[in-house]
């Protein structure tokens, strides 16, 4: 038996057809590993998945808009188990809004109490809840300073943008940021990849033509990059200009949490940077456990839900010209009576059935009268059905389990 020592070079053992490549970045004389090489070997290959360019970071999503108790704090504990190099956010970290300095400071103190438990850096990104109101923006500035910035880690540029630019306006990026983006990219022309984090998916609004996003994209052209956003509390992947854009779901923010099928989950995104770009894995918070499966207990309180209307189960069916409307999204909207302001949504299954959700997964809808609309792309469905006020469809939800059958015609 012959013992092969890998030390940053490729070796061929006499009489054996194994060729092992050494690792990138080893110091001269440093041992990579030792492997007993025989005629037959219990290993597929020794191309170690530990390039010096590899690293992992995590991205957390929206916590607010009516955050739920214990979720974000639990995510922090799980991230400490996973041990990324650092954690990046996509904004909406506190409920924020038009509040007093004292109230806003208290919200930041609570949030900081969670992220300060991380054993790795946490990078703040501003969301509309954090900075849209002038009161909230003032507290952000006094506490955290700038809202757009960048850093470089292992030759990867991380570009953080503010999608509620005080110069460009709410839901936009203005001239000051455009100039910052231009200069930052020019100063970092040699990086191997660029990661952009911005709260609002600005490209999804009018293709970004009027909110400043197109100008950002124009500046990014010619380099490999990936974009992360949040805001809408539902996961979605876009491909623009050949590059991947990710709209994350929630990390404790308001959500019915109907599950992966509905793109409504509490998660963080695990990113492994490789020499040829990032590899993503979305990890559900409740899927991460400690070595002894001990349950994480937190003191994070949620937003009160006492004002919510009582809901009742709704089991429905939807057909278009007698055919089940598979994959269609149905929306119940009430503009009068005791359910005024309520909105319930559902997704039509293969047999035409659907279950409605208002506040939490499949809880039904408050009792009352509703107008109904459908979203069913590439189906040939008449456009009138896309708007509740024009669809001509209505339904009544009673104070008991309700069955609804909707028959749509051309």
pTM of the entire predicted model? 0.86
- Give the E-state strand segments of 79-161 in sequence order: 87-89, 122-123, 149-153, 156-160
Local structure of 147: helix, strand or coil: coil
DSSP state of 316: E
pLDDT of res. 1: 42
Does domain 311-408 fall under CATH 3.40.50.2000? My reply is no
pLDDT of res. 25: 41
Local structure of 353: helix, strand or coil: strand
Cα–Cα distance for residue pair 332/396, rounded to 1 Å:
10
Contact (Cβ atoms closer than 8 angstroms) between residue 201 and residue 161? no
274 strand-pairing partners: 277
What are the tens digits of pLDDT across the range 327-361?
A: 999 999 999 889 998 999 999 999 999 999 999 99
Decide: residue 8, CB within 10 A, 0-12 exposed, 13-18 middle, 19+ buried.
middle
Count the residues in the chain. 410
Taking residue 184's Cβ as centre, other Cβ atoms within 10 Å add up to 17
pLDDT of res. 305: 77
pLDDT of res. 28: 43
List the chain domain ranges. Answer: 2-37, 55-287, 311-408
Task: Render each residue's pLDDT in the chain as its tens digit; 410 residues.
Answer: 444 434 333 333 333 334 443 333 444 444 467 888 899 999 998 888 888 899 999 999 999 999 999 999 999 999 999 999 999 999 999 999 999 999 999 999 999 999 999 999 999 999 999 999 999 999 999 999 999 999 999 999 999 999 999 887 789 999 999 999 999 999 999 999 999 999 999 999 999 999 999 999 999 999 999 999 999 999 999 999 999 999 999 999 999 999 999 999 999 999 999 999 999 999 999 999 999 998 777 888 888 877 899 999 999 999 999 999 999 999 999 998 899 989 999 999 999 999 999 999 999 999 999 999 999 998 889 999 999 999 999 999 999 999 999 999 98
Decide: residue 114, CB within 10 A, 0-12 exposed, 13-18 middle, 19+ buried.
buried
Decide: residue 181, CB within 10 A, 0-12 exposed, 13-18 middle, 19+ buried.
buried
- 122 to 14, 85, 125, 195: CA distances (angstroms): 51, 10, 10, 15
Tokens 């309180």: give the residue: 301
CA 69 vs. chain centroid, Å, equals 19
Cα–Cα distance for residue pair 349/330, rounded to 1 Å:
11
Hey, what are 361's tokens?
């997964």
Tokens 């007993």: give the residue: 36
Domain 55-287: top CATH class:
alpha beta
pLDDT of res. 32: 62
pLDDT of res. 84: 98
Closest CA to 129 of 100, 102, 165, 164: 164
């Amino acid at each position: 038996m012959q013992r092969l020592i890998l030390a940053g070079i490729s070796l061929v053992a006499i009489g054996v057809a194994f060729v092992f490549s050494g690792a990138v970045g080893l110091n001269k004389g440093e041992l990579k590993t030792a492997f007993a090489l025989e005629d037959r070997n219990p290993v597929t290959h020794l191309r170690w998945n530990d390039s010096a360019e590899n690293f992992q970071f995590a991205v957390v999503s929206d916590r607010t808009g009516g955050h739920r108790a214990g979720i974000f704090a639990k995510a922090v504990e799980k991230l400490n188990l996973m041990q990324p190099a650092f954690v990046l956010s996509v904004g909406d970290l506190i409920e924020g809004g038009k509040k007093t300095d004292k109230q806003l400071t208290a919200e930041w103190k609570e949030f900081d109490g969670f992220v300060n438990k991380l054993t790795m850096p946490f990078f703040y990104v501003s969301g509309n809840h954090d900075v849209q109101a002038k009161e909230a923006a003032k507290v952000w500035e006094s506490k955290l300073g700038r809202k757009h910035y960048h850093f470089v880690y292992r030759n990867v540029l991380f570009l953080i943008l503010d999608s509620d630019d005080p110069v460009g306006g709410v839901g936009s990026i203005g001239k000051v940021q455009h100039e910052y983006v231009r200069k930052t990219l020019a100063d970092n022309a040699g990086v191997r990849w660029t990661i952009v984090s911005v709260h609002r998916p600005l490209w999804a609004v009018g293709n970004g033509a009027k909110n400043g996003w197109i100008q950002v994209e124009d500046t990014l052209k010619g380099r490999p990059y990936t974009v992360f956003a949040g805001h809408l509390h539902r996961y979605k992947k876009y491909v623009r200009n050949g590059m991947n854009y990710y709209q994350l779901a929630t990390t404790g923010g308001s959500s019915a949490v109907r599950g992966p099928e509905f793109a409504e989950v509490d998660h963080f995104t695990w990113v492994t940077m490789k020499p040829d770009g990032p590899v993503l894995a979305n990890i559900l918070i409740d899927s991460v456990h400690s070595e002894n499966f001990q349950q994480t207990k937190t003191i994070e309180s949620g937003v009160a839900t006492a004002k919510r209307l009582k809901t009742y189960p709704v089991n429905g069916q939807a057909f278009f010209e007698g055919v089940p409307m598979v994959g269609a999204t149905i929306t119940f909207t009430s503009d009068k009576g005791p359910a005024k302001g309520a909105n319930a949504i559902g997704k039509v299954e293969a047999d035409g059935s659907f279950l409605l959700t208002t506040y939490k997964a499949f809880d039904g809808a408050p009792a009352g009268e509703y107008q109904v609309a459908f979203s069913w792309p590439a189906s040939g469905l008449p456009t009138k059905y896309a708007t509740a006020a024009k669809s001509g469809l209505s339904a009544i939800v009673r104070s008991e389990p309700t069955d609804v059958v909707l028959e749509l015609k051309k």
